[in-house]
Structure 1
Amino acid sequence: MTRVRKVGIVGWGAIGRVVGTALAEQRVTGAELTCLVDNRPLGESAPAPQVSFDEAMERCDLIVEAAGQGVVREWGERVLSSGTDLLIASTGALTDEELSKQLLSAGPGRVYFTGGAVGGLDLLQAVRSLGPLDEVRLTTTKLPSTLEQPWMGAELLSRMRTATGPVEVMSGTARDVPVKFPKSTNVAASVALAVGDLDAVRVQVVADPGAHHTRHVVEASGAHGTYRFEVAHLPDPGNPATSQVVPYAVLRSLAALAGRTGQIL
């Protein structure tokens, strides 16, 4: 008999609701929604029991993190140590090298991450096996309101709020940028994980009042070739910091973990 993955979802927001609804409607073969974890009461409309994190680890063999980097930092190692697998949507947390080492060495549960809103990661991983890339650049462009952060000064906030065109908000490496934008730049971490070097990926974050689509441009070059990937997604209407496609990337990862056959890997 085929094993059915018992899935718990942490976070009932823009990502969790789509993923949880699809699981509850049995749209992912080999996976079933077992429980939900959220710090707000979800009420009777929730499609599965709302439980504590500790209880979720007892009920599930796979937990989907859809609630932000803080959950990965606080609970990631405990989930894996309990023997439960963990699928991470907030890949930005893995730019913390100490945390990343802890998760990779923890067990017996296994840790996975989804590429989310960007493509081409499999090709970058393949090229990496041929040798290092000379240059990797990521430019992310979003609506100004989705990029505002508590650490920003009055001058930068004013420029963003009054902008009539693109404004550079920050530039740095994939080690630096996701820490500053914990809900908006997980793509930077995903690219860096594919390349295998946080410091090799240069990241530019741009605020644009005309950015009706969230745009990510990845440019990479090396001795073996030159690569360019560009994606433009509609933001989620309930949470514009997240692209609409992200929960469907999570669902694809879930389908792979549940053993669906006949797909491109």
Structure 2
Amino acid sequence: RQPDLVPLAVQTGARIIVPTGALLGLDAVRAAAEGTIYSVHMITRKPPEGLFGAPHLLENDININNLSSAKLVFEGTARDAAEAFPANVNVAAALSLAGNGPENTTIEIWADPHVTRNTHTIKVDSDATRFEMFIEGIPSPENPATGLLTPLSVLATLRGLVATMKVGT
């Protein structure tokens, strides 16, 4: 939690840039936030090995070894998800910042032995639109907690800072 970052950025003239990460559709979420967002909900499913060592699992003695079916390991706000799974759900932070905030974005995290990719299903309901998005990200071989798309998103964000043409918001 860094509640002082935005005021500090305003005071110093700095900008805080949050890459999209492994998400899709943040332009639509940001556009919906120009009106009234009623709800933002994300369901994340990861292979169990992608969640090993997460503070929430260790602190709550949640065993995800040898699962035979999907297990709900977290349900709460994006703010709590970011603290409980700091290496796993950067997508929750980006989604909540684009939408209706970390306290009003709800997250489910599942350890699922039947998935081989990190999946995110996002549902948004607002006064302007209602939509659902789904993405399957290939986990990084070096770090299964994150996907291969995440570093590419960072590169795209950096290139966008100096690009002549910008696509999307």
**Letter of the 2:33 counterpart:** R
Deviation by residue 1:188-232 (Cα, 9 ceiling, x = unmatched) = 111100014211111000001122110011001123221111100
Deviation by residue 1:89-120 (Cα, 9 ceiling, x = unmatched) = xxxxxxx2524335533524322110110011
Task: Check conservation: 2:27, 2:168, Cα contact below 8 A.
Answer: no
Q: Give the structure 1 partner of residue 22 of structure 2.
A: 117
Alignment of 1:162 with 2:91, yes or no, is: no
Q: Give the structure 2 partner of residue 34 of structure 1.
A: none
Structure 1 distance, partners of 2:51, 2:130, is: 30
Question: Alpha carbon RMSD of aligned pairs, Å?
Answer: 1.9
Alignment of 1:186 with 2:90, yes or no, is: yes
Alignment of 1:98 with 2:3, yes or no, is: yes
Alignment of 1:242 with 2:146, yes or no, is: yes
Alignment of 1:253 with 2:135, yes or no, is: no
Alignment of 1:205 with 2:136, yes or no, is: no
User: With CA pairs under 8 Å and 6+ residues apart, which has the higher RCO, 1 or 2?
Assistant: 2
Alignment match of 1:137 (pick from 41, 44, 51): 41
Q: Give the structure 2 partner of residue 4 of structure 1.
A: none
Task: Check conservation: 1:127, 1:224, Cα contact below 8 A.
Answer: yes
Alignment match of 1:229 (pick from 101, 119, 133): 133
Structure 2 distance, partners of 1:217, 1:259, is: 30
Task: Check conservation: 2:55, 2:85, Cα contact below 8 A.
Answer: no
Kindly tell me the number of residue pairs found equivalent between the two proteins: 167
Q: Displacement of 1:185 after TM fit?
A: 0.6
Runs of 4+ in 1 over 4 A off after TM superposition: none
Structure 2 counterpart SS, 1:104: helix
Task: Check conservation: 1:103, 1:111, Cα contact below 8 A.
Answer: no
Task: Check conservation: 2:22, 2:153, Cα contact below 8 A.
Answer: yes
Q: After the TM superposition, which of the residue ranges 142-151 and 113-122 deviates more from structure 2?
A: 142-151
Q: Give the structure 2 partner of residue 74 of structure 1.
A: none
Deviation by residue 1:137-190 (Cα, 9 ceiling, x = unmatched) = 001111112213245257521xx1121121001110011111111110110111
**Letter of the 1:259 counterpart:** A
Q: Give the structure 2 partner of residue 42 of structure 1.
A: none
Bigger Rg, structure 1 or 2: 1
**Unmatched 5+ stretches in structure 2:** none
